[in-house]
Chains A and B, each alone.
Chain A
Amino acid sequence: MSRAALLVLAVGNPSRGDDALGPLLLERLQQSSLPALWDVELLTDFQLQIEHALDLEGRQAVLFVDAGRPGTACGATLTPIHAAPCMLPASHALSPQAVLQVATQLAGRAPPAWQLAIEGAQFALGEGLSPVAEHHLTLALALAQQWLQSQRPSAATPCSVSATPVPAPPPAGAATPPATHQPR
């Protein structure tokens, strides 16, 4: 089975305040009907785990999206990342770099990857999105759209959506990739 060339993998718990930023960004992307969503798979999960390394196989590029603690993301930051053995010693969750590293060990390579960090303010159970996080989400959406347009492969197959199914957006013409992936 062929896979979408691009993967956007967002993590976060929708019921823990600004930890919902990752899943919410995917929702906003789906609603944006961007032409660049073609040939993109959108995945969301609570946390990154070892099996997500298998989701990276066969991709042209991957964008990890996650909430960041206060002071860690300057609003929203898009950066290229590379495989690295950075692990949390007391957590089950992997960092995006560690997922890339596992993918490299298992498959011999990992696709080029970026991390979109969206700064949050509060993360308590049952809380909604904070106003500042809502603002950062808007910034992040623009960065994600930039990234998608810059990475869009020539092939045009329908967008594949996992976890939160919504109708795929209609196809449209090509957009010009931005000169850089760095937002700031």
Chain B
Amino acid sequence: MSTTTAPEAPPPSTRRVFIDPVSRVEGHGKVTLLLDEHNRVQQARLHIVEFRGFESFIVGRPYWEVPVMVQRLCGICPVSHHLAASKAIDVALGIASIPRTAEVMRRLMHYGQIMQSHALHFFHLSSPDLLFGFDSEVTQRNIVGVAAAHPDIARQGVLLRKFGQEVIRLTAGKRVHGTGSVPGGVNRHLTPAERAELAAQVPQMLTWCEQAVDLVAALHAQNPALYDHFGSFRSNWMSIVRPGGDMDLYEGKLRVRDADGRILHDGTDVQDYLGLIEEATEPWSYMKFPYLRALGRGAGWYRVGPLARVQNCDRIPSPRAEAQRQRFLAHGPVHATLAYHWARMIEMLHAMEVIAELLQDDALLGGELTSPLPLQRPARREGVGVIEAPRGTLFHHYVIGDDDLISWCNLIVSTTHNNQAMNEAVRSVAREYFDGRAVTEGLLNHIEVAIRAYDPCLSCATHALGSMPLEVTLVAADGQVQDAVLRHGDGRFERVPT
């Protein structure tokens, strides 16, 4: 296979363009573009500071608190952390299996999370780019603009998201900071009325999900040159799949394909993930750089998330989504960054189909909620929980000490897996749209679109009023700042004196 090699050191004779937070406050992305002597973009470095301190936040806490407290790591996908932590603690405690009711409730919660997060991303973040164009007025290129120009689409997005949130509320117990999943199982059933309330909305939600896939497919068909080309680069792909290769976003074994679609690793137990991947560090980034041990740091990086999952599995085990996947795959191995949106909508449809099926399961209404602790305590209480979160594979790995406190942990979130890939996407886009002189608003727009396609968890952190989300700075090879621009929260583009 061939992938773009990730250089470990800046090439000689480069100068830097960097997109950088003004200060190291949370809520910012920071991109550095390294130019060669011909003013071509040689490297891109996306800096995200949100992931500092996850492990120290968790170590020292009682294990039973962990599934609830880890939800505070992320404002968008707390349920994914909730469930990944629960699964890891189950393993650490030696609980080999959980009751069917717990399995079904957790899955329902998870697919509700997938559905609401994908709806939010597509309708709120990406559809404005796709519907209005990357260079459209920035104050229009948002969900508010969509609501004005396409009120039906905007309303569908809001109500799809609301439905997913209701699934979470009813399975997790609360709208935010739910407590539904506990070590060994869950702590609630659905009532018949709650199930009926959700089930009544299923036909409409399925229709809207399918229409969303058709919409993004139609957008692709209108401008295939853009969609196939923008931010396109080759990479490996990783996700979990069921034994046999079906898509499963809740449970499975690790599979890796190369850029040509060949399977490199398959059936790797998630407990053995450290034998498959290793994490590198770079002095300029708080985020680590996972890569496949077998291929090394340069060629072993990979992508996760919807585009990886849709191509990594052999089949989606729900008919409407599988039919849409086949239409998607007719394009061959897809490497283009914007294809993440199409894959994301296929997954949203799949999630909705799974929800529809799960809601028919009477185990939701009764049955054992938790498995008992094993009679014999494991000699070493250590466990890994892996789940396919909306943005990609999420690892939670814990060791529980004799005092029942977490003594060690390691979290690899989806945005970290995609770290190198996002750099490559930005590099690819910047290389095409940077004019060699200044940071234009057009360049900034395109970089934003490339980053957004990966849905990085920039909002893991705070969103407090006054945040300034993006700064772009051009620095010459001698370290002198030549140009700097800001994108303010209200969409204003401002050139900063240098």
Contact = CB atoms under 8 A, between A and B. Distances in A.
A163 B462 contact: no
Interface in A51-93: 51, 53-54, 66-69, 71-73, 84-93
A50 B161 contact: yes
Contacts of A166: none
B57 A85 contact: no
A49 B144 contact: no
A98 B144 contact: yes
Of the listed residues B56, B148, B177, the one surrounded by the most CB atoms of chain A closer than 10 A to its CB is B177
B54 A86 contact: no
B452 A90 contact: yes
Given A87-B142, A98-B144, A106-B147, A69 B465 contact: yes
Interface in B114-153: 120-121, 123-125, 138-140, 142-145, 147-148, 151
Interface in B445-460: 448, 451-452, 456, 458-459
A92 B460 CA distance: 10
Given A50-B157, A85-B145, A163-B177, A91 B466 contact: no
A85 B144 CA distance: 6
Contacts of B120: 49-50, 92
Contact of B176 (A53, A91, A163): A163
B155 A106 contact: yes
20 contacts: A15-B72, A18-B464, A45-B175, A50-B143, A50-B161, A51-B162, A68-B464, A69-B467, A85-B139, A85-B144, A87-B142, A87-B489, A90-B29, A92-B76, A92-B458, A101-B147, A102-B154, A123-B25, A125-B54, A162-B175
B463 A91 contact: yes
A9 to B, nearest CB: 12
B353 interface: no
B192 interface: no
A14 interface: yes
Nearest to B70: A15
A44 interface: yes
Nearest to B160: A51
B416 interface: no
Interface of A: 11-16, 18-19, 44-51, 53-54, 66-69, 71-73, 84-95, 98, 101-102, 105-106, 115, 117, 120, 123-126, 162-163
B78 interface: yes
Contacts of B487: 89
Interface string B466-498: 110110000000000000000101110000000
Given A46-B75, A53-B158, A92-B125, A68 B466 contact: yes
Contacts of A19: 462, 464
A92 B121 contact: yes
B254 to A, nearest CB: 28
Max count, chain A CB within 10 A of own CB: residue among B53, B72, B463: B463
A12 B461 CA distance: 10
B143 to A, nearest CB: 6
A46 B176 contact: yes
B165 interface: yes
A2 to B, nearest CB: 18
Contacts of B175: 45, 162-163
A16 B57 CA distance: 10
A81 B374 CA distance: 57
B174 interface: yes
B82 to A, nearest CB: 13
Given A85-B139, A93-B463, 17 more contacts: A49-B124, A67-B465, A85-B145, A86-B491, A87-B489, A89-B469, A90-B29, A90-B448, A90-B452, A90-B469, A105-B151, A105-B154, A123-B25, A123-B464, A125-B52, A126-B57, A163-B174
Q: Which of A12, A49, A67, A87 has the most CB of B within 10 A?
A: A87
Nearest to A96: B465
A92 B459 contact: yes
A22 B461 CA distance: 15
A22 to B, nearest CB: 9
A45 B169 CA distance: 13
B57 A102 contact: no
Nearest to A67: B464
A51 B78 CA distance: 17
A47 B69 CA distance: 17
B465 A125 contact: no
A73 to B, nearest CB: 7
Contacts of A66: 463-465
B456 to A, nearest CB: 8
A120 to B, nearest CB: 6
B258 interface: no
Contacts of B54: 125
Nearest to A106: B155
B425 to A, nearest CB: 14
Contact of A125 (B53, B151, B161): B53
Contacts of A18: 464
Given A87-B144, A87-B491, A123-B25, A73 B458 contact: no
B73 interface: yes
B26 interface: yes
Interface in B358-412: none
A122 to B, nearest CB: 9
A16 B487 CA distance: 24
Contact of A51 (B69, B72, B161): B161
Contact of A69 (B25, B165, B452, B459): B25
A125 B286 CA distance: 14
Contacts of A92: 75-76, 120-121, 124-125, 458-459
Nearest to B165: A51
Given A13-B75, A19-B462, A69-B467, A86 B490 contact: yes
